[in-house]
Structure 1
Amino acid sequence: MSSPVSPLRVTVWSEGRHEQRDEKVARLYPKGMHAAVAEGVTEHLGAAATVRTATLDEPEHGLTEEVLAETDVLTWWGHIAHGEVADEVVDRVHRHVLAGMGLIVLHSGHWSKIFTRLMGTTCTLRWRNGRDRELVWTVAPSHPIAAGVPHPIVIEEQEMYGEFFDIPAPDELVFVSSFSGGEVFRSGCTFRRGHGKIFYFSPGDQDYPVYHHPDVRRVIANAVTWAAPAAPRTTPTLVRSETGWFEDEGGPA
């Protein structure tokens, strides 16, 4: 597989279901939530990225082998149709992440098949949809995902996500959120699986205009840049090694 190229190739994936069923969501995201996320990436990365979108109802959910082979970073938003995502597509995405494709999992994507498979846990959490104010606090200010982000990000209306969040200990904790009900949540976490970088970012319920929020858009764009593969994509494999391969012709000194 060819090495990552410039511009960065980004695929923004979403179910695209809420916008079809709920008039409120359609008013907030008339072109779909995936379009709002894609616009935010383009807004911040400009000519440094080419951005395409894909949705659940497309053939193979828009995530064919060809599309994934030409994707450096994939963003994922899902909620009401996790079970409709074909296992074959999940296997395909999983293989590409292990080979080096970046993955950004957003909000209720915590319960997607791909995220739970990569984490190896239930990824369950506490929640309340009560128009809470969310404060997103930066706890790793030198991390590139936090570059240019205010401390805290203020989201006036949002669904509450709270601990305990059943995920493995993150490689890096970038953001912690607090809510008007007193709850806290690990809202920005990085992981590495195989050669791939993964970032989970929780803000973004469909009932609120969170993906129009300029600071949320900045975080996602920063995460896309961070998760981009730095080397040609390759899948880790089992290799039998013979003894003596490291020795000079005359043997060890």
Structure 2
Amino acid sequence: MLNVTVWNENRHEKRNPKVSEIYPNGIHGTIAGFLAEAGFQAGTATLDEPEHGLTDEVLNRTDVLVWWGHLAHGDVKDEIVEKVKRRVLNGMGLIVLHSGHFSKIFKSLMGTSCDLKWREADDRERLWVAAPGHPIAEGIGEYIELEKEEMYGEHFDIPAPDELVFISWFEGGEVFRSGCTYSRGNGKIFYFRPGHETYPTYHNKEIQRVIVNAVKWAQPANRAYPVYGNAKPLEPISAK
């Protein structure tokens, strides 16, 4: 059984009654709940726990880490970010959701600003499936339509994705690369755009299906981390 840890800064839920009404158990609790229903061993971790809930014990048993953050990216300790990054490079999967695009861990792994345009105006969003054969899009039709969401618009300052799974169109006219995969070291990364805290996006069954699919896709491969540095020859080298 895959072990999944859902990390959330858990700040909006404490400050905004609308968010706590939509997600009474926190965004992390909602996501962990449907992941558990899908058959994963799902736990949670939050910013205000010791070591942000990401102790060595937790990280070492985590196969896939799901990350949601917004208000408090700067409060995440650099040493915790480095621990998470090492685990990703060694094979742990990472699913970065919505405003997690600006998290320290995502920016560190991408090496760019990860900046974008945004607007909160109740835009309708249509997420078009750009890679219908991709396992993350399994069970999804031609598109997912969300009645209201926060707009994210191009240019999205990220490296070119290994695979582009979803492209969003917004009612105000913008488009956005909303489902992007990457490999870093032994680890797989998926960025998925929807999920503004004041909308019930993570209660949407199609959005849940995408995240479940992404967790399956991002599970670690059974292989050792590559060996780097000075290497001895595999066969004798003939003297010239």
Could you say which TM-score interval applies, normalised by the shorter chain?
over 0.9
After superposition, where does 1:144-183 map in structure 2 within 5 Å? 144-183=135-174
User: Which SS does the other structure have where 1:238 is aligned?
Assistant: coil
After superposition, where does 1:157-236 map in structure 2 within 5 Å? 157-232=148-223, 234-236=224-226
- Aligned counterpart, 1:240: 230
Shift of 1:230: 1.7
Q: CA offsets per residue over residues 75-97 of structure 1, 9 Å max, x none?
A: 00000000000001000000000
- Aligned counterpart, 1:55: 46
**Aligned-partner Cα distance in 1 for 2:66–2:182:** 15
Shift of 1:40: 2.2
**8 Å CA contact retained: 1:95, 1:235:** no
- The structure whose RCO (Cα within 8 Å, separation 6+) is larger is 1
Shift of 1:172: 0.3
Residue 16 of structure 1 pairs with residue 6 of structure 2 = no
**Aligned-partner Cα distance in 2 for 1:221–1:247:** 49
**Aligned-partner Cα distance in 2 for 1:80–1:38:** 21
**8 Å CA contact retained: 1:99, 1:236:** no
5+ residue gaps, structure 2: none
If the length of structure 2 is used for normalisation, what is the TM-score?
0.96
Shift of 1:177: 0.4
Shift of 1:151: 1.7
**Aligned-partner Cα distance in 2 for 1:40–1:136:** 21
**Aligned-partner Cα distance in 2 for 1:40–1:127:** 28
Shift of 1:108: 0.1
Shift of 1:241: 1.6
**Aligned-partner Cα distance in 1 for 2:148–2:34:** 19
User: Which SS does the other structure have where 2:139 is aligned?
Assistant: coil
**Aligned-partner Cα distance in 2 for 1:127–1:237:** 42
User: Which SS does the other structure have where 1:198 is aligned?
Assistant: strand
**8 Å CA contact retained: 1:40, 1:218:** no
The amino acid that maps onto 2:47 is L
Shift of 1:41: 1.6
User: Which SS does the other structure have where 2:126 is aligned?
Assistant: strand
**8 Å CA contact retained: 2:99, 2:193:** yes
Residue 136 of structure 1 pairs with residue 134 of structure 2 = no
Q: How many residues align?
A: 238
**Sequence identity of aligned pairs in percent?**
60
**8 Å CA contact retained: 2:186, 2:221:** no
**Aligned-partner Cα distance in 2 for 1:42–1:159:** 27
Indicate which of 81, 84, 87 corresponds to 1:93.
Answer: 84
Shift of 1:206: 0.2
Indicate which of 22, 33, 44 corresponds to 2:27.
Answer: 33
Spell out structure 1 runs of 4+ moving beyond 6 A.
none
- Aligned counterpart, 1:78: 69
Shift of 1:242: 2.2
The amino acid that maps onto 2:6 is V
Shift of 1:73: 0.1
Shift of 1:238: 2.2
User: Which SS does the other structure have where 1:140 is aligned?
Assistant: coil
Shift of 1:235: 4.1
